[in-house]
Amino acid sequence: MPDNSIADLRPRQGFQPSRLIGWVGREPMTASCVAVLLFFVLVAIFAPLIAGDPIALNPAERLTSSSESAIWGRDHLGRDVFARAVYGTRTSMLVGFSVAGLTTLFGVAIGIYAGMSRIGGAVIMRLNDAMMAIPAILLAIALASLMNAGVVTVIIAITLPEIPRMVRLVRSVVLGVREQPYVAAATSIGTSGLAMVWRHILPNTLGPVLVQATYACASAIIASAVLSFLGVGTSPEVPSWGGMMADARSYFRIHPELMAYPGALLSMLVLVVNILGDRLSDALDPRKTRRGSL
């Protein structure tokens, strides 16, 4: 009798440090992006351990450059710029990942329905078109100013205009997947309804969706900064990169570093997320997976 257990046929078993080193060597770009993203995540989680109080005012030392108590200097109210930047990572990451998650959840659910149902699909796509006709940032500003200022408000305000983009992508992918012979094969063996979506449609739609989710994450980080910059984002006492840049605007000529610190962090995080999204689209395709990838 042949051994039928699945476990011993799997090519990989557990974590092997040599594989990780080999992967870093083959894909230095992806590896460094993962490292940077990991760094940002750790900074966001351990912010209280890294930096001091981001809210405490110290008007006596306002607009001073690097000192022992504040290594990146202090802003126009005498707040610790380094601490604010560190805590701002929290806000940006929270908004970015929440928006990506919510957009994916709603976008996939609505998009798959729109792709599977002819009449429902037509109705949804017209509503979608109508929503996409409104500039996303204007819609976000309108929504944010309608509700109380806060992180939750910002997340909702950015997610809503982002969903139609995801719906449109999901629907177009679903329409393609539906025509695949394996869907016809599944129909002929009696698969239908939710089982069809769950086993065949959803798994083969997810690749492009996850890539789009990373772009949604990156653009949400920027959008939250824009909302803060315009003064409709999180409340002023919550440290955010956009808010810091808005505050720094008046002092740009004398203290450009006040804008440079949050700006550089924002660009770096968005860049890293975008590159990883690109790599993800290749890695998620089982046919394109390179031998020995992690």
Residues that bind another protein (CB under 8 A): 2, 4, 6, 9-10, 180-182, 184-192, 195, 199-200, 203-204, 286-287
Q: Give min distance, CB of 11 to another protein, in A.
A: 10
Please list, in sequence order, all residues whose beta carbon lies within 8 angstroms of the beta carbon of residue 256, skipping any fewer than 6 positions away. none
Q: Give min distance, CB of 184 to another protein, in A.
A: 5
Q: At what angle do helices 257-283 and 202-230 cross, to 10 degrees?
A: 170
In contact, 71 and 82? CB cutoff 8 Å: yes
Q: At what angle do helices 202-230 and 81-116 cross, to 10 degrees?
A: 140
Q: Give min distance, CB of 175 to another protein, in A.
A: 16
Nearer to another protein, 56 or 175 (CB): 175
Nearer to another protein, 19 or 178 (CB): 178
Nearer to another protein, 41 or 185 (CB): 185
The CB density around residue 140, as the number of other CB atoms within 10 Å, is 27
Q: Give min distance, CB of 281 to another protein, in A.
A: 15
Beta bridge mates, 80: 74
What gap in Å lies between CA 236 and CA 193, rounded to an integer? 49
Q: Give min distance, CB of 34 to another protein, in A.
A: 24
Question: Please, what is the Cα angle at 39 between 37 and 41, to 5 degrees?
Answer: 70
Nearer to another protein, 3 or 68 (CB): 3
Nearer to another protein, 176 or 256 (CB): 176
Note the Cα 17 to chain centre separation in Å. 29
